[in-house]
A and B are shown apart, each in its own frame.
Chain A
Amino acid sequence: MENFAYVNAADVEQVPSLLSDDWTETKMIAGGTDLLGELKEYIETPKKVVNLKSIPGLDKINADASGLAIGALVTLTDIAAHPTIQHHYTVLAEAAGSVASPQIRNVGTLGGNLCQRPRCWYYRNPDIICLKKGGDTCYAVEGLNKYHAIFGGGPVYIVHPSDTAPALIALGATAKIVGPNGERTMPLEDFFVLPDVNPQRENVLEPNEVLTEVHVPQPKMGTKSTYLKVRERGSFDFALSSVAAHFEMSGGTCSKANVVLGGVAPIPWRSVEAEAALNGKRITDAVAKQAGEAAVANAEPMTDNGYKVTLTQNIVSRAAMRLA
C-alpha cells in the first residue's frame, strides 16, 4: 500500500479539523476491516488516516427507558452479545451476529459497518475506474451482475453491504453526525442516499464529517423482530438478500410492520409494499405469502440476478411467519 500519515483523534470535536474536505485526501479508521482492504488493493490512497479508536467513550452502549445509545466504536461482537439488545432489539443482535466472522466482529465497529464501502467487484478492482469512483460507467450494467441491485439501481447498481443498517432502520434509529459546523441528527433511513442523488457515495456524510452515535427508541411492548440473511457461505459472506422485520403486535394482529431489505439495493431498502400487506393483518401463512409477493412486486432484476427476487420474496414471507 501507499504510505500515509497516521493521526490519533483526541476527541469527537477534533475529528472534522483533522479531515480534509476532499475525499481522496483523508480517511477515518476504526476497526479497519474494510479500510485496510481498500488501502492494500489501492482502491483508496489517502495522504492521511485519522484513527478514531483513540477517542474515549465512543465504545459504549447505554440502554435506558428512552432506548439504546450505541457509540460508533462499539464492536459488532458487543452488540450481538448484549443481553438487552438480544431481548428487546432482537433484529439488531441477530444482524450484528451475522456479519462476516468472529474475528471481524471482534474488531469491526457499528460506525464502520454502517459506513462501509460497496463490495461490487468492479468497484473493488483497482484497474477499473467505474462510476462509483468518478468514472462514467457502471460496469455491472453490461457485465456480471449476479450480486447487484434489484431495487433502486441507476446509475450505479451496487448493493449496500451492511447487515446492521436494515436492522437499525427497522427499529427506527437515528444517527448523530459531527462535522465542522457542529452536530446534526437525522433518521438513519435518511442517512443513506441513492446513486441518483450521489453516485459516488452511499450516505450523506461530507468528507469532514463523522458518524458518532446511533440512537434506537425503546420498542413498544409486544413488538417482535428478526433478521434473516441468505448468503452463499455459512459465514464470512455478505447477504445475497436479507430482511430486517420489526412488527408491533396487538392481540395477534400486526399493527405496524417495518420491513427493511439488505443486499438488494444501493441503500437499505424499506419495503413499503410488504409493510402495507402486513399492517393491520393477523399474520397467517397466506398473509405472509402476500407480503413476500408484495415485497418484490416492483423489483427490477438485471441480467444475472433474477434469483435474488425469488430469495427476497421467500425470506420476507419466512420472516413474517417467524414473527406471527
Chain B
Amino acid sequence: MASDPYDIKFTIASTDYGFMLVSPEGMSKQLSVAEVGVPEVARVSNASGATHQDFDPRFDTPFSMDSFDAGSGQALFDNFDENAVWWAPGVVTHVEGKAYLAPPVSSLALTSATTQVNGFYTYTTSAGARYDFCWSGTRLYRRDAANKTNPWGVAYTHASQNVTDFTVFNAKGVIAVAGDTSTADFLNVTANLTSGTMTTSAANHTPFSSGTKPKFFKAIRGTLYALVDNSKVFYTVDPTIDGWIGPIETTVGAGDPKVGDGTYAFTNVVAASDYIFTFSYDAGYNIDSEQNVSEIFAQWKDKPATTNFDHVAVNSLDSTLIFGAGNEVYTYDPQTGATAPMGLSKQSGFSVQNILGVAAGNQFAYVLATVRVATINSASSVALFRCYKMRGARWGFEVLWEDTAVTETYYNLAAVPFGLGTRLYWGQVLSGTASINCMDIPADWDETSSGSYAASGVLYTSISRAMFPGFVKRHLWLSYETDGTIDGNNYIRADYSTNNGATWTPLTSTGAGSASTLVTRGDYTAVASRSIALRFVFVSGGAVTPQLRVFDHHQRVRFKYLQSIMAAVRVADGIEKNNGARDVRSKATLRADLLTLRTSDATITYTDFLGNSFPCTIDMVTYSPTRHHVPNKTLNVYELEAQIAITRADDGD
C-alpha cells in the first residue's frame, strides 16, 4: 500500500509523515472516509440564471426554452436571456413561442454588371406600379417589381463613368454621374422611366460648372437636394432647369453656420423627419428646413474611415436613422437626438467583422454583415440580420440567411416595399459577375402561414454549462414539441454537442412526423460533459415550415468525488507500524508533525492503506488522552489520540 509502513501518510515535498490509526479493542481502524458535502446550493454559483436545481444531484437540471424571441447572439445559456439562442441561420425567432424557417432567397442576374451594386431605389408610379432600380458600374438597372421573378434590365448606361445615384423627382428620373468630366453635370430622364432604355438629357447647370458634379440627390419638401463633394449642397424645385440655390456649406469657414469639415467626400445622404442628413467618412450633418447645418455625428471626427456611414437607412416605424460605423450599427432619433448602438457588435455568440449593408422596412431593420461565428463556423460568413426592438433599448437579431462558404463579394442591402411586406435586395459579385439576391418578407408578424420557406435552417441553442469546470452533468433526455413537422420532408432533427459546438451528434428527429402537434423524445446514452449545446435542424419542402415550440433537456449534476476523512491516530512512543517495526519518533515528535501538517500552506499529499491518494488539507487536529489498562505495568498507561479532519483539496475524481 502506498502508505507503507503506516496506516496513513502525509507527504510535503519529499518529507513523509506517517501515522498509525487508533484501533480500539474489538473495533476497526478509526478511519472514516466520507464525501465532502454538496455545497450550499444558493452559494454554488453567482450565475444569475442558476437555480438550486443546477447543483442538486437529486434533481434534473432543466435546460428548456419555450420561446426564442430574444434572437441570436447568446453563447451561454444560463447567464443572460433565457429566450436567446446562440445562432439560428435561416430560422425566424422573433415570434414568441415558436421558431420557424425564414423566407426563401432567390437570385436575379444583372446583365453585364461586373462590380458591386452601389445603390438601390424604388419608385411607385401614380398608378401604383412599382419599379425597383439599382446601379452597378456605368449601368442603371430597373425591374418591374410586381413579382419576385421579373428580371433586372439595363435602363441606362453611361459612356464611361459610374452611376453614383438615381432618384425620381416629380415623376422624373435624375441620374448622378459624379465622375463625368464633360459638360453634363447630371442627367434628366426625359422618357422611358419605367420601361425601355431611358432617354436622358444632360444638364449643364451653373453651380456645377466648376467641374464638380452632383454625387447624390435627395428629395424632400418638394425640393431636390444635390450633394457636391466635398461640402456643398445645392437645392432646386426643378432639376431640369438651371435654377439651383445654394450652396449650403458643411465646410468650416465657407458659410454659416461654420460647423463642417471639407476634408472628406460625401458618402451618403438620407432624408428623415424633414431633415436632410449628409455623411462623410468622419461625420454626419443635419440640414434643416432653414438650411441650418449641424454636425450631429461627431463621434467619428477623430476616427475617419471608409466604413463610417457607408450604409444608412431610415426606419419607417419610428423615423430613426440607422447607419453602420465600423462593425456596429447605430440608431439615431431625430426627435430626441439620441444615438445608440444596436449592440450587434457586442454579442457573445458571434462577432461582426464588417457591415455590408443596412436597410429598414416598416417593421424591422436589416443588416447585411460579415460575421464570425466561432466554433460553429470554421471561417467568416455573411449573414443577413433582421433586427427588432425588444424591451428597453435592446435589439433582437435573427438571422434570415447566411452564406457559410463565402466566395462572393456581398455589398449593399435595400429594403423596399412588397405589398404590405418588405422585399430585400442585396448585391453580390462572384467571379466578376454581379447579381442581386432577393427575399420577400411577409407583413405578418408570425409568418408561419406565408406558404414559402427556405429549404433548411439551423437553430443552435446557447451552451448550457455545468458552471464549474470540475463538474460534469450527465445528460438524460431531450424532448421537444413541434408543429409543421408533418412528414419526412418537413422535420426537425435534434443534435447535441458536448464540446462547445466543435462537433455535433444526432440524437433524434421528428422523423415521419405528424399533422398534429408532435412531441419527440430522445434519450442520451452515456453522455456526460461539462456543457451541452443543442442544434435543431429545420428541413422543409418549401410550402410548410416546421416550427419548434418548446424543448426541454434534462441533465443531472455529477459532483466530483472529494473525500472528507476523519482519522484518529495514535500519538505515543514506540508505536508499532504495520510491518512490525517500531516507530522511532517520540510522542513529542508526532505532535510536532501534526502541528506542521495543520499549519502548512504547502501541498500535502495524503495516502492511506485503503489506496486513497490525493492532495489534501488538514482542517482540524484535536487531542484526547486514552487510558489503556495494562496489568502490572506502570509506564505509558496513557496515550494521546489525535482526531484529524482531512479534506481532499483538488478537483477530485
Question: Do these two chains really belong together in a complex?
Answer: no
B→A interface (CB under 8 Å): none
A→B interface (CB under 8 Å): none
